[in-house]
């Protein structure tokens, strides 16, 4: 029986996989097979930005993973959805576009990911970028990924929040994805002409017009096939039948920070004890596979609103129907935004070199499932500590790919993370207490005025924090001689030939921001490494930093020292 062969096999049509499918098929002499367990992304609930809470909580579109009981969160089992649809998690996420701070990528290089410092990454952020407000040294126009500010902060609460941040002593930033992340300003989202601009829309659909790309959906990859120390193909299940597809050049895992380490382990690649406990025959020892798991936690800081301007008035069934009809007919109105249109990036204390706390501001008090948090008008801050020290793991439990792996983040294991969340509470109260919020600020609903001491804050945080859905780090990129690194800085799996991993599992450390933008950047740069064996020359731009970061937590007035 003949086996279909392709030059490249990509496992996972998500944020990274769609980018790779597009870029690798630019070479008409190379054939590419893209494999995805999920199916079509054409649902209105995926394409309409305001419906973002629906696909994330739908089994059809997302793997509904849950963690083991988290020992430092009162043994809560945390929800960890991952995209299972064309576009992957870019089709179910909040569409927030944050590159991360420049120093986040310098930190990658410091951890052994040579060539992944900010100046080398910036050309690939720009390559992807189609920025609505014009090109400069940091931004680009004409790339595949549309980025804008949604409805341009029409609700007055957005601007009031930004002004409050400045009144509290923080910088204003005109573009947190440009020269200066630190401060308060407008937030950016991946939306185009009123539609979610996932990597399926931005990258995959144009590539599907090419004859050298084959896309197969509804398939479940069982393992990577090895001959000695070389990957030669994959084995999968399609409509109940086991099939094999071979690759002439490389197999590339882009199954995400949960899926990629799990698939490596299913293939016998990983820590010896994990494989033995799961009953999987070891093919290649790599102790770092599934380790170094990181994520962002956040909670909602909720207030009643004294003015009738919040989106709580739009959460009833008739209002939602009207928003949906307008979106269907015209692609305009509240259906075109994720509602996170202003934001802030600050440092939790002095002595922190670059921001480690992030705000998403929402002019409504509601839950991630889209339901109102209480009757009446309200607003909320999503606030979290974005540079956690705590680390977790992912472990296969059997050779069956349908059986979910065990996931343990060890959230808030490290005292520094607990301390940072105390700062989240206290600094947020200071910001909302500023004059800009006086005419809007009503009663504090959550955490509530009674939550004041360290012990009370810690107890609240343990019970209230939720994942921001940014898992990463489980196939960490590092130097060739780093035994815990899973891939080298060219994205090749250490000790094997013909096998790469390209997705957010490669991140050595988690950036200060949402992960979709850096994942797309990583895939853009990896595509050049795969095709040409080299990447673009480094940029040479300045980054705005607070030169007095060791002495102060906020600036007091706008001072822009550039280095």
Start-to-end Cα distance in the chain: 62
By the 8 A CB rule, do 142 and 296 touch? no
Residues in the chain: 563
The token pair that represents 50 in the structure block: 């305001």
| Nearest by Cα to 456 from 430, 421, 413 | 421
Burial of residue 375 (CB within 10 Å: 0-12, 13-18, 19+) is exposed
Helix, strand, coil percent content, the chain, rounded in steps of 5 = 30, 25, 45
Element at 129 (helix H, strand E) = strand 129-131
The token pair that represents 170 in the structure block: 């923080």
CA distances from 439 to 138, 305, 347 (A): 37, 8, 27
CA dihedral for 206, 208, 211, 212, sign (positive or negative): positive
Instruction: Please tell me the distance from the alpha carbon of residue 423 to that of residue 418, in angstroms, as a whole number.
Output: 9
Catalytic residue among 188, 339, 382, 470: 470
By the 8 A CB rule, do 199 and 192 touch? no
Question: If you write DSSP's letter for every residue of 334-402 in order, what string do you get?
Answer: GGG--S--EEEEE-SSTT-SS--EEEEEESS-B-TTS-BSSSS-EEEEEEEESS----BEEE--SS-TT
Question: If you write DSSP's letter for every residue of 184-233 in order, what string do you get?
Answer: EEE--B-EETTEE--HIIIIIHHHTTSTTEEEEESEEEEEEEEETTEEEE
470 carries an active-site annotation:
yes
Active-site amino acid positions: 470
């Amino acid at each position: 029986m003949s086996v279909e062969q392709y030059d490249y096999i990509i496992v996972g049509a998500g944020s990274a996989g769609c980018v790779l499918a597009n870029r690798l098929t630019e070479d008409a002499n190379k054939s590419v097979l893209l494999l995805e367990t999920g199916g079509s992304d054409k649902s209105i609930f995926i394409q309409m930005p305001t419906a973002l809470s629906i696909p994330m909580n739908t089994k059809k579109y997302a793997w509904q993973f849950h963690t083991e009981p988290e020992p430092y969160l009162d043994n809560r089992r945390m929800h960890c959805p991952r995209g299972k649809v064309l576009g992957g998690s870019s089709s179910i996420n909040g569409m927030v576009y944050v590159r991360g701070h420049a120093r986040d990528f310098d930190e990658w290089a410091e951890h052994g990911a040579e060539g992944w410092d900010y100046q080398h990454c910036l050309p690939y952020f720009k390559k992807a970028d189609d920025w609505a407000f014009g090109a400069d040294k940091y931004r680009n126009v004409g790339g595949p990924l549309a980025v804008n500010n949604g409805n341009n902060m029409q609700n007055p609460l957005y601007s009031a929040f930004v002004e409050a941040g400045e009144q509290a002593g923080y910088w204003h930033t005109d573009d947190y994805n440009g020269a200066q992340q630190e401060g308060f300003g407008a937030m950016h989202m991946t939306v185009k002409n009123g539609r979610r601009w996932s990597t399926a829309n931005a990258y995959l659909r144009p590539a599907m017009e090419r004859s050298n790309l084959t896309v197969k959906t509804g398939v479940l990859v069982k393992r990577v096939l090895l001959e000695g120390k070389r990957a030669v193909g994959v084995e999968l299940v399609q409509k109940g039948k086991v099939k094999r597809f071979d690759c002439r050049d490389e197999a590339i895992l882009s199954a995400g920070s949960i899926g990629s380490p799990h698939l490596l382990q299913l293939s016998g690649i990983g820590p010896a004890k994990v494989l033995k406990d799961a009953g999987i025959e070891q093919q290649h020892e790599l102790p770092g596979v599934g380790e170094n798991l990181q994520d962002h936690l956040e909670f909602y800081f909720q207030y009643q609103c004294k003015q009738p301007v919040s989106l709580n008035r739009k959460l009833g069934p008739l209002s939602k129907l009207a928003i949906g009809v307008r979106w269907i007919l015209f692609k305009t109105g509240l259906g075109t935004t994720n509602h996170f249109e202003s934001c802030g990036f600050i440092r939790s204390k002095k002595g922190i070199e670059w921001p480690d706390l992030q705000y998403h501001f929402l002019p409504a008090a509601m839950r991630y499932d889209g339901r109102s948090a209480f009757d009446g008008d309200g607003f909320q801050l999503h606030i979290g500590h974005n540079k956690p020290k705590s680390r977790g793991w992912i472990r296969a439990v059997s050779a069956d790919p349908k059986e979910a792996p065990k996931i343990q983040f060890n959230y808030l294991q490290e005292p520094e993370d607990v301390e940072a969340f105390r700062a989240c509470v206290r600094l947020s109260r200071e910001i909302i207490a500023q004059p800009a919020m006086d005419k809007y600020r009503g009663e504090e609903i959550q955490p509530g005025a009674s939550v004041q001491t360290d012990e009370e804050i810690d107890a609240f945080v343990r019970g209230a924090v939720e994942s921001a859905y940014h898992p990463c780090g489980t196939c960490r990129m590092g130097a060739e001689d780093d035994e815990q690194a899973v891939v080298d800085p060219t994205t090749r799996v250490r000790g094997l030939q013909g096998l790469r991993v390209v997705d957010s599992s490669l991140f050595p450390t988690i950036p200060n921001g949402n992960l979709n933008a850096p994942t797309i950047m990583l895939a853009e740069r990896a595509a050049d490494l795969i095709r040409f064996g080299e990447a673009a020359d480094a940029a040479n731009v300045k980054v705005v930093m607070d030169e007095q970061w060791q002495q102060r937590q906020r600036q007091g007035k706008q001072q822009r020292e550039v280095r």
